[in-house]
Structure 1
Amino acid sequence: MYHSQISGDKDTIKIRIKKSNLTTQVTSKLLKSEGGKGIKMFPILMLPITRVLRNELEHRWRQNNTGDKDNQEPDEQSVWGHSIPTPILHKIFQHLCLQEGSLPMLIRLSKVCKLWRNVSLSPSLWQKVDLNWVRERFRTDQKLNWLIDNRLAICQDLNLGVWKLRNIQTSLEYLIEHCPELRGLNLSGWKGLNADNLKYITQECRKLERLDLSSINSTSAINAQPLVCLAQTMNSRLTHLVLAHNKLAGFTQIMSALAANCPNLQLLDISNIRTFAHNTALLHIEKIQSGCPKLRVLRITNSQIWLAPATVAEQIASPGFPMLEELSLAGIEDDQTTTARSVDDDGIERILKNSTKLRLLDIRGCIRLTDSGLVKVPAWDLEHLFLSACYITRSQNAGLELIVQKWSHSLLEVDLAWSTATASLDAAVQALAEKGDESPLRILNLCGSSVSLEPVKAILMKCPNLHSINLQSCRALPRGIKRLYTGSAVNNLRQSLQDKPKTESNESETDQQSPEHANVSGNT
Structure 2
Amino acid sequence: MEGAGTLPEVESTSKNLTVETDGFANDQSTSDAASRGTLNRSNNRSVLKRKRGSSADSKSKPKVKRKKSKTTRTPRPNYTIEVGEDMLLIISNVSQSDSVWRPKRKGRKNKMKTLPKRKGQGKITETKKTKKHTRPVRTTVGVNTQAQGSDPDHQVKPRANVSLSGDDTDQWGQRLPVEVLVNIFQYVVHRDGAVPFLCRVSRVCRVWNDAASSPSLWRSVTMGFCWIEPGKSQLPKTEMRIKNTVNWMAQNRLAQLREFSLCHWKKNVDYVVQALSESCPQLSSLKLSHCTGVTDKAFQSLGSHCKQLDCIDVQNTDVQGEGLVTFLETYGQQIRKIFFSYGSKSEKLLTVISKGCCPELRSLAVNTNLNTGFSQLAICIPALQIGCPKLQTFSMMNVMPRLKMIRNIPTSTPGFPLLEELCIATTSMSSFSDQDLNSLLHGSPRLRVLDLRGCSRVTPTALSALPCQDLECLFWGLYFNSTSVASSKNGLHLLTEKWSRTLRELDITNHAFSEEDLEIAMGHLALGEGAEALRSLNLTGTKLTSQALRLLIGHAVALNYLNLSSCRYLPRGMKKLYRGQEDIRQLLDKIE
Q: CA deviation at 1:494?
A: 1.6
Deviation at 1:360, TM superposition (A): 0.7
Give 1:265 deviation, angstroms: 0.5
d(CA) in 1 for partners of 2:546, 2:486: 19
Alignment partner of 1:378 is 2:451: no
Give the superposition deviation at 1:158: 0.8
Say which structure, 1 or 2, has more relative contact order (CA 8 Å, 6+ apart): 1
Query: Within 5 A, what are the aligned runs for 1:344-355?
Result: 344-355=433-444
1:181 aligns with 2:276: no
Once the two structures are superposed, the pairs formed by residues 469-508 of structure 1 within 5 Å of their partners are: 469-487=562-580, 490-498=581-589, 500-501=590-591
Q: Greater helix percent: which structure? A: 1
Following superposition, the deviation at residue 251 of structure 1 comes to 0.6
Deviation, 1:101, is: 5.3
Equivalents in 2 of 1:180, 1:152: separation in Å?
A: 10
The size of the alignment, in residue pairs, is 416
CA separation of 1:259/1:101 partners in 2, compared to 1, >3 Å: closer, same or farther?
farther
| Partner of residue 509, structure 2 | 417
Change (3 A) 1:106 1:426: farther
Among 214, 220, 225, the alignment partner of 2:315 is: 214
SS in 1 for 2:586: helix
Residue 332 of structure 2 corresponds to residue 235 of structure 1: yes
Unaligned runs of 5+ in 2: 1-80, 91-167, 230-237
Structure 1 or 2, whichever has the larger Rg, is: 2
Aligned pair in 2 of structure 1 residues 295, 431: CA closer, same or farther (>3 Å)? same
SS of 1:306's equivalent? strand
Q: Is contact 1:366-1:389 (8 Å) kept?
A: yes
Task: String of CA shifts for 1:184-228, please: whole Å, max 9, x gaps.
Answer: 00012112223444444334433321101111239xxx66x4343
CA distance in 1, matches of 2:269, 2:326: 20
C-alpha change, 1:116 and 1:364, in structure 2 (3 Å) is: same
Distance in 2, matches of 1:451 and 1:116, equals 60
Q: 2-side partners of 1:273 and 1:255: how far apart? A: 22
For structure 1, the 5+ residue unaligned runs are 1-35, 46-73, 335-339, 503-524
What pairs up with 1:62-81 in 2 under 5 angstroms? Answer: none
1:478 is displaced (CA, Å) by: 3.1
In 2, Cα distance between equivalents of 1:312 and 1:43 = 61
Name 1:162's counterpart in structure 2. 264
Provide the secondary structure at the position in 2 that maps to 1:282: strand
Letter in 2 for 1:448: G
Question: Is the aligned partner of 1:361 residue 2:454?
Answer: no
What CA RMSD, in Å, does the superposition of the two structures yield over aligned residues? 3.8
Secondary structure in structure 1 of the residue aligned to 2:511? coil
| Aligned residue number for residue 452 of structure 1 | 545
Contact 2:201 2:209 in 1 (8 A): yes
Code of the aligned partner of 2:258: Q
Q: What is the alpha-carbon distance in structure 2 between the residues aligned to residue 112 and residue 467 of structure 1?
A: 44
**CA distance in 1: counterparts of 2:548 and 2:343, whole angstroms:** 45
How far off its partner does 1:118 sit? 3.5
1:33-182 pair list within 5 angstroms: 38-40=83-85, 42=87, 82=175, 86-87=178-179, 90=182, 94=186, 102=194, 118-132=210-224, 136=227, 141-142=242-243, 144-164=246-266, 166-182=267-283
Aligned equivalent of 1:22: none
Q: Assess, with a 3 A threshold, how the Cα gap between structure 1 residues 191 and 126 changes in structure 2: closer, same or farther.
A: same
> What TM-score, normalized by structure 1, do the two folds share?
0.69
| CA deviation map 1:310-354 (0-9, x unaligned) | 8999243x22111111100111225xxxxx41x322221221132
Amino acid aligned to 1:366: C
Alpha-carbon distance change, 173 to 227 in structure 1, aligned in 2, over 3 angstroms: closer
Corresponding residue for residue 190 of structure 1? 291
Percentage of identical aligned residues: 30
1:376/1:200 CA distance change after superposition, 3 Å:
same
The structure-2 alpha-carbon separation of the partners of 1:38 and 1:471, relative to structure 1 and needing over 3 Å to count, comes to same
CA distance in 2, matches of 1:313, 1:259: 11
Pair 1:461–1:167, CA change in 2 (3 A): same
> Which residue is 1:291 aligned to?
387
